[in-house]
Structure 1
Amino acid sequence: MSGNREDGEQDGASGTLLEVACDESGSDGENLTGGNTDVFAHGSVSLSVASAAAAVREIRDRIRSPAEEYKANHLLREKHRAVLEWLLTPEGPIHGRARVHLMEKSYFVVERTVGLLLDGTSEAPDLFRAGRGTFGDDGWRAFLEAANRLLRVRDNGDPVAAFYGTVDALRRAYPGTRAAEFLGRLAATRARAEAYRAGFLAGPPLIPVLNPLLPAIVRTAALWSGDGRPVRLVHDRQNMLTPDRIAWIEEAARRAGVALAGLRLVVARDDARVQVADFLAGIARKIASDELNRRGDPALTALLRPYVDPDSVWGDARSRARLAAPVTG
């Protein structure tokens, strides 16, 4: 992050206030296992309005599409590869001034399932690698889909029965494995799952367990306020970000020791900074998805890597190595 006042810094009552613009890519609501995307991305940039507008103009001049509003897909077309590389290189307009948090959706489902049923997420990496490596593609997909159904708010069937039926079937099919050991622990949590589903009778929860946007915003604030200075986020307006949920984000940040000075919503087309954040989020999601599905472009992955939050979970080999590391505690 640059220390230049030009790059989004403002004077605040408690010192220099950093204003950061954000947008997301890959949101499919609570359908994390059967949606259109397999990676969620939350991009953020610390640019002045003037710098962001200049970057958008430069992209338009280089691409020369008649489209009224540019999106990441314009940059991802093969004929515009040079423009995409320019944007991400150290010589580009966002280097050192942008971050992106990436989350593989299947991992998010596992993490949320473990967090709800087993009181904490520390065992999620262990279950993730054990289950994927043991059950095969079909078995692992069945587990993820059943977990997704259990956690999502709206489901017309009996998601509790479906989840524990899947858990029991996989335990019987793979006895004696590390993965089956985890499933044995999950099998004993049915009462907790029933209580979780019963809570929906009073109406949908304020914070949906399966929506990655809200925790991603808190994480983004933490990335930019790492030196202790306050950060204010400017985010693309969307229905999920209601006043009550914004209050939750601010409180969650406070509890985590993050100096979040506020979250303001804008219309993306009216703020060039948010447009640039949208470019980064969409580009990063596509590159991460390609890596995840073993069709990655090494050059683009290398260009993206400096922007990626180190706590991200995505298809990059370094992220995979972290998930494969022994879990302690």
Structure 2
Amino acid sequence: MLVMGTREGGRGVTGKREDGERTAPAGAVLEVACDESGSDGENLTGGNTDVFAHASVRLSMASAAASVREIRDRIRSPAEEYKANHLLREKHRAVLEWLLCPSGPIHGRAHVHLTEKAFFVVDRVVGLLLGDPAEAAPLFRAGRGTFGDEAWREFLTSANRLLRRNGVRDGDADRTEPVDAFFRTVEALCRAHPGTDAAARLERLAAARPRAAAHRARILAGPALVPVLNPLLPAVVATAAHWSAGGQPVHLVHDRQNMLTPERIAWIEQTARLGGIGLVEVRLVAARLDPRVQLADFLAGIARKIASDELNGHGDAELTALLRPYVGTASVWGDARSWAALTRQADDAALPARPDPVGRTAR
């Protein structure tokens, strides 16, 4: 088994950290374990969570197993399988802080790619209809304040329905209804708020009905290889990009997930190669058999909860600060205030300029 780590010392030299864990020599493949939290498929506006988190850790199997044992020893729950909610309980606050703190077992060896689901919907519908992802953030920031909470939720719901396939039946009489409903919503908002920046941006969407109709025709013709609204696949590509940024190729070990079919894994690997990302392979494992994946599962659930609390205006300042070093700057996030808290970046950096590794109309 390949031992993972960062490059230390000269080329070809294997280093050793102060905690005794060896690091991979330059050019060796980093093996990184991954898991996610907050998956609601393509139902991003009516699901159970408002944040999707994809976490990854690079530890040796032995170090990860020792960390999981330490968590179990500290929590002492009779549960056979531990999840993030064990650490998120107030009575186990000290264990949670220990896991995330600078002296903890995953600090500097873990990463979280966050997706704010409501913004992801806007990002995808703007990208699909206008072909310009830079338009998504201005619309997202202006929309809620201009239209109000209820009308903005209606817009998000209609956009979600336009883009997703789930719920479509082959015998439906009116298969264009999601298109009609979306443009009715857009036109009603434009009429109600003339002259506003948000309405002006929606007017550009209103002129793109043929693209929306073409999208519905494609997804009604059959399931897409890469669903436009599922955040997992771009998160995996972004995770590989993060860990390979230093020049070392990456092998991702991921918890089993129905979305990660052999065809989609092949697509992820090909997309990464075409984008110059050093992803060697994605391999699926059972989380219960790999303590590294268990740690990624803990971190994903913890990060999703902390980020969601921050997004909804009742974040815990101490926990947000502890999560901050793990949050990837390529995360898909549109709310400026919470992003500033999660990353300590200025409000105008709430959505970093980022290439989209997943084509919005990919099939």
TM-score by length of 1: 0.94
Counterpart Cα distance in 2 of 1:72 and 1:272: 14
Query: 1:149-188 maps to which residues of 2 (within 5 A)?
Result: 149-156=161-168, 158-188=177-207
Residue 279 (structure 1) aligns with = 298
Query: 1:27-106 maps to which residues of 2 (within 5 A)?
Result: 27-106=39-118
**Deviations for 1:84-116, whole angstroms, at most 9, x for unmatched residues?**
000000111000000001110001000000111
* Cα root mean square deviation, aligned: 2.0
**Deviations for 1:106-148, whole angstroms, at most 9, x for unmatched residues?**
0100000011100131111111111122111111111100100
Counterpart Cα distance in 2 of 1:130 and 1:208: 27
Deviation for aligned residue 1:15: 2.6
SS in 1 for 2:223: coil
Counterpart Cα distance in 2 of 1:193 and 1:320: 35
Residue 348 (structure 2) aligns with = 322
Alignment-mate amino acid for residue 46 of structure 2: G
Matched, 1:300 2:319: yes
Counterpart Cα distance in 2 of 1:311 and 1:65: 36
Cα pair 1:8 1:47 within 8 Å, conserved: no
Which protein, 1 or 2, shows the higher relative CO under an 8 Å CA cutoff with sep ≥ 6?
A: 1
Cα pair 1:22 1:42 within 8 Å, conserved: yes
SS in 2 for 1:229: coil
Matched, 1:201 2:220: yes
SS in 1 for 2:203: helix
Deviation for aligned residue 1:202: 2.2
Change in 2 beyond 3 A, CA 1:190/1:320: farther
SS in 1 for 2:35: strand
Deviation for aligned residue 1:155: 3.9
Alignment-mate amino acid for residue 119 of structure 2: Y
Counterpart Cα distance in 2 of 1:21 and 1:33: 29
Counterpart Cα distance in 2 of 1:249 and 1:296: 34
Alignment-mate amino acid for residue 32 of structure 1: L
Residue 154 (structure 2) aligns with = 142
Cα pair 2:165 2:220 within 8 Å, conserved: no
Cα pair 1:291 1:297 within 8 Å, conserved: yes
Change in 2 beyond 3 A, CA 1:289/1:121: same
Cα pair 1:15 1:229 within 8 Å, conserved: yes
**Deviations for 1:29-76, whole angstroms, at most 9, x for unmatched residues?**
110001000000000000000000000000000000000000000000
- Match of residue 231, structure 1, among 225, 250, 253: 250
Structure 2 unpaired stretches of 5+: 8-14, 169-173, 354-363
Deviation for aligned residue 1:154: 2.4
SS in 2 for 1:133: helix
Counterpart Cα distance in 1 of 2:83 and 2:352: 40
Structure 1 unpaired stretches of 5+: none
Counterpart Cα distance in 1 of 2:276 and 2:232: 19
Cα pair 2:53 2:112 within 8 Å, conserved: yes
Change in 2 beyond 3 A, CA 1:195/1:128: same
Equivalent pairs counted in the alignment come to 325
Name whichever of 315-324 and 83-92 sits farther off: 315-324
SS in 1 for 2:148: helix
Change in 2 beyond 3 A, CA 1:86/1:154: same
Deviation for aligned residue 1:248: 0.8
Alignment-mate amino acid for residue 270 of structure 1: L
Cα pair 1:44 1:98 within 8 Å, conserved: yes
